[in-house]
Amino acid sequence: MVPDFRRIIKNRIGVLKFEPFKQNNISGIVGVQSCNLEMVAYANVGIEPVSICPWHWLVVERQDQYPFKRANAKCNCRDCQAKTIYDTDSKKLSSCFAQFVLMPTLLREAVVNQTERWSFHLEEVAVSCACSIFLIV
């Protein structure tokens, strides 16, 4: 997402920041959790190319947000499984990072006299992992 666009919509629509996974909210795990590319490739044989930052899906369940279940990508590896031109033997600048998109959500604000009050927001959802580098400019 373009950072400038994020500043514009924050002023008009509430944006819920991504929160790290909590074990008590996870209702399911989908996909191979291995960082070993051979294991990931074997599980996906003939389906799609293999990412150098493989990920699996954690299904998060929540009571005060709709949809009540949302799948989030969780990176299997800390380091990219390929060397970039910015990596050397002594210093590695590349790492696996989650990639986010904003998705609509309804947030339960209150329950008064058995009537629920919900508000519209956008939430950051991890949808994949990518090999990224930090460059100091």
Determine phi and psi for 4, rounding to 5 degrees: -65, -40
**Statement: residue 22 has pLDDT above 90:** no
Determine the pLDDT at residue 100: 94
**What is the reported pTM?**
0.75
Three-state DSSP class for residue 52? coil
Three-state DSSP class for residue 17? coil
- Return the biggest CA–CA distance within the chain: 64
Q: Which domains does the chain have, with CATH numbers?
A: 3-133 (2.10.90.10)
Peptide bond connecting 67 to the previous residue in cis, omega within 30 degrees of 0: yes
**Statement: residue 30 has pLDDT above 90:** no
